[in-house]
Structures are given as structure tokens and as C-alpha cells.
Amino acid sequence: MANQDKTNRKHSALLVDGIQKSPARSMLRAVGFTDQDFRRPQVGIASTWSEVTPCNIHINGLAEEVAKGVFSAEAKPIIFNTITISDGIANGYQGMKYSLVSREVIADSIETVVGCQGHDALIAIGGCDKNMPACLIAMARLNRPALFVYGGTIQPGKNHTDIVSVFEAVGAHARGDINEADLLAIEKSAIPGPGSCGGMYTANTMASAIEALGMSLPGSSAQEAVSPEKREDCHRAGQAIRWLIENDVKPSDIMTRPAFENAITLVIALGGSTNAVLHLLAMADAVNVPLSIDDFTTLGKRVPVLADLRPSGRYLMSELIQIGGIAPLMKRLLAKGLLHGNCLTVNGKTLAENLAEVKDYPANQNIIMPFDKPIKADSHLRILRGNLAPTSAVAKISGQEGTLFTGKARVFNSEEESMTAILGGQVVAGDVVVIRYEGPKGGPGMREMLSPTSAIMGRGLGNQVALITDGRFSGGSHGFVVGHITPEAMVGGPIAIIEDGDTITIDAEKNEINLAMTDEEIQRRLSAWVAPEPNVKRGVLAKYAKTVGSASEGAITDKF
């Protein structure tokens, strides 16, 4: 950089300048610092590389590309690691309780390293459901120049398969539609290599939202993990940090209320994951932007679902990339007045400026529908209330499963109990599967219900059975599903007093979810309810259960 004075080194100068900081410089020399490096801004590069999941297996190489870009921008790159977990691997057993917890652990760890080490800026590379919003939460808390790089999506498996294909094959096997050899063949070929799960599941949803938010470079969310474009994206991200540092542009300058509205709008248009509700609320809270769960309803009334993407649709992210990614969709939304074009982004341009030269989709494509022929005329993300969820629930209603469901409750106090019943044929058409004590405090950890929803789909009951829970759903879940029911069972929400055979109605037009029960009967049952003993009393899950807030506010842990 042209100017290497302390204005570009607000944090690192306090760490390495002057006689008294000789011990710190001595330590840093041992990890490769030169005399010149001490005069450069220090850029922390948070890598979520791990061998635990294909989503992140390649990120070490991407971090090295980012570092090259940072160095070419005359700053000092410093790569450090944080953890990640795999929802796709952990789904369906007790370990999944650590999934949402990991969002907080990752955010805390990035904040801890950058805050302690005096980095002047931060570039974070994420590739899976929880580490991506975690990176943004850490950036917001630190509020120093920062940008995000998406690790990229996976390529399709054989016969157009992906991870959800495997989950649904388990249900198909239980129904007798496929044999064990067929299931094994799908298992062996659905995940061909590095990258995040291939549909518009949570990873691709959050990558798209973060780009619309302005916190990643244009195009970062719509690139395959193993591609020259992704490596170039990493190099350019390293270079882009220069402008942010020189102009002292911080996340709070970019992550504004209008920018969050842009992110929500794009998530709806793409038919994205319900997890976006949790994560965007948490990200907004971290940067002190007022955002409520009802904003999803307000925006959803005027934004249609336009993308025919899995899980409810037909296509994979890699196929959307082939026709131009999300940028042409954002340009269409902008032209309709549905995006705020004057929002600043990390490359120094406004959203409108970034979209100005973007070409529209090819005329013969079938992935992104025109406004006059939407997949759904308004949002698929429905914020429901009623006597079953007084402070809100989140439904994912694509329209294919209908918008109204009334059925009899089949109540389970854990995900495992429900899976035994579903795979054993005990759940039948007309049932409303109730899975409770899986909320943020009750689980603890708010497990995803991808295994039960996939088993229901695999058994051919997708349009005949509803599922409600105080847990949450994978971006790969589809069907008539309602999650994030609050108050959750563990704190005495009405979901705790549902009994087998109770009638439940879910109305996605009126945005209501109700028990066919008088207020007096609900109160009578609640007065007799006794809170169960916590599942865990020590360790990270216990700490999480004690500090986590309601899912209706993003399930955050640092607001007391």
C-alpha cells in the first residue's frame, strides 16, 4: 500500500510497534515475519479447512490463494484455522446437537484470534452451513475491514444425485422401493468430491445471502468448489482487502438494514433454506441492525419464488452456475424495485454498479422463472403464529404440498423416536408428526430434522403427512414442515402439552398454526406440565443451553 502509517494498522501497530513490543516481534519473526512485514497491515485469514466434511476439505488451498492476493496488496497475510462440523454426517443422531452450537463456537474462536492478535482486517473462508454465518457474526462483532469467501458448491453426483438423494433413498429402502444394493450404489456416487451440498440448501442459501448482503465479491456465491473461477475469486478477495483497509470500511458500513432486506429478498426468490431465518437474525443482531422475524413476512408478501432448485425443485446449484449464477436474478429483482441498489459492497461499488454489466439468463433456460410465471407468487418462508406457537414458527411451504393441512398429532419426545415410527410404518397419511424437546435449550442444540423429513418423502408420504418441531430443518428438507416453534417445549411452550390424537391445523395462507383446543384446556395442561431434567449438565452443550435465546430471535448466545 502507498501509505504504511498507523492509519492502516490501527490494531497491529499496538501489537508490534516500539521498543516495548520487541518480544512480540521476536515471536512473529519465528513464524516468518520480516522487518517489512511489521510495517504492513496484518490480515487474518480464517480458514475453516477440515477433513471432517467434503464441504471444507479443499479450503486450505483456497486460503493459500487468498494469502497470495493479500500479499500482492502489500499487506501481511496470517492464516489461522477454526473448527467445523458436518450436518450431513451428523444428521439423525445425538451428535447433531453440536451443529448449531458450532456456529457460536466458530464465531467466538474467530473473534478471539483476531481480537487477541491485533489483525487489522479479516478474510474468512466458509463452506458449510454453520461456519458461514459464524464468519459473518465474528466480522460484525469485530467491526474492522473484512470480507467473506465462499468455498463453493459441489458437482452433481451420478444420475443427478446429491446428499438429499441418499437420505431419501433410506426412506425408499424402508418402503421397499429399492434394495440394499441400489441404496449402496447411490451412497457411493452421490458425493463426488469437495464442495458444499448441491441444492439450494443452507450453504448455497447463505452464500447467496452473503453476496446480496455485500460482504463477498460479486460471483463468489455461484462458483464450483473445484474450479479456476473459485481460485481466482480467492486471489481477488485477498487483493480487495486493500481498498477496505485504506478507506476504513467496516462491516457496519455494509451490513445495513437495506442490505439485510436485499439478502432476505434473494433468499426468498431462490426458495432458500429456513435456516436463513435463524442466521440472518443472528447476523443482524451482531451488527446491531434491527431485524425481526416478521420482516420475513413483510418482504415475503411482495417477493415471489422464482428458482426451480432443489430440494423442492429440479435443479442443482451447479446448473444455475452454468447459466450465469445469481447475478442475473439479482439484476431482475433490482429492475423490479425489489432490491436496494445503493447498498455498498466489499469491492467499493454499490450493488447496482456491480450488476450494471451483468447479462440476463439464456432464453431457453428453465431454472429461473419469469415474474409472470413464478414457482410461487409469494414467499415460501412462512412465519406462523397461533395457540401452538404464540411467539412464532417457521414453515417452508413451496406450494407443491398445498397450503393447508389438518391432521391428528403423533407425538415424539426426540428425533430418534420419530424415526423408529416413520421407518416402521407407524406414521400414516393424515398424521401430524410432532417432534419436541429438540429446541435450542431442550435438545440442547436445535437439531435438524432432515432424517425424519427425508424418511417421510422416501416412504411416499410427502403430501400426506405434516411434521412440526421446536427443532429446525436442513436446507434439504421439504414437504409440509414447520420448525422453530416458540416458545419451545423445554421452557413450557404449548408444543410441550400436545397429546397423541390432538387435532392440529397448519394454514400457510393465514400464517397460523393451531391446536383444536380451548384456551382453558391449554392452560389446564400447561399448569400440570413439569419441566424435564436437562439432557446435559456439563460441557459446551450445557453452557449453550444456559445462554441461548429463543429461535424467534436467532438463537443467539451473547445477549444477556
Other residues' Cβ atoms within 10 Å of the Cβ of residue 356:
12
**In whole angstroms, what is the distance from residue 101 CA to residue 544 CA?**
7
3-state SS of 429-443?
Answer: CCEEEEECCCCCCCC
| Distance in angstroms (rounded) separating the CA atoms of residues 104 and 107 | 5
Query: What pLDDT tens digit does each residue of the chain (560 aa) get?
Result: 334 568 899 999 999 999 999 999 999 999 999 999 999 999 999 999 999 999 999 999 999 999 999 999 999 999 999 999 999 899 888 999 999 999 999 999 999 999 999 999 999 999 999 999 999 999 999 999 999 999 999 999 999 999 999 988 988 898 899 999 999 999 999 999 999 999 999 999 999 999 999 999 999 999 999 999 999 999 999 999 999 999 999 999 999 999 999 999 999 999 999 999 999 999 999 999 999 999 999 999 999 999 999 998 999 999 999 999 999 999 999 999 999 999 999 999 999 999 999 999 999 999 999 999 999 999 999 999 999 999 999 998 887 778 899 999 999 999 999 999 999 999 999 999 999 999 999 999 999 998 999 899 889 998 899 999 999 998 888 888 999 999 999 999 999 999 999 999 999 999 999 999 999 999 999 999 999 999 999 999 999 999 999 999 999 999 87
Predicted TM-score (pTM) of this structure: 0.97
* pLDDT (0 to 100) of residue 284: 98
Determine the pLDDT at residue 1. 37
Place of cell 512473529: 28
For residue 484, what are the contacts with CB-CB under 8 A and spacing of at least 6?
Answer: 274, 277, 278, 392, 393, 394, 470, 472, 551, 552
The pLDDT value recorded for residue 4 is 56
Helix axes 163-175, 415-423, angle to 10 degrees: 50
Q: Given this model, what pLDDT does residue 400 score? A: 74
Per the annotation, the verdict on 474 as an active-site residue is yes
| pLDDT for the residue numbered 3 | 43
In the 3-class helix/strand/coil scheme, how is 126-185 assigned residue by residue? ECCCCHHHHHHHHHHHHCCCEEEEECCECCCECCCECHHHHHHHHHHHHHCCCCHHHHHH
pLDDT at 390: 98
Residue in 50, 379, 474, 552 annotated catalytic = 474
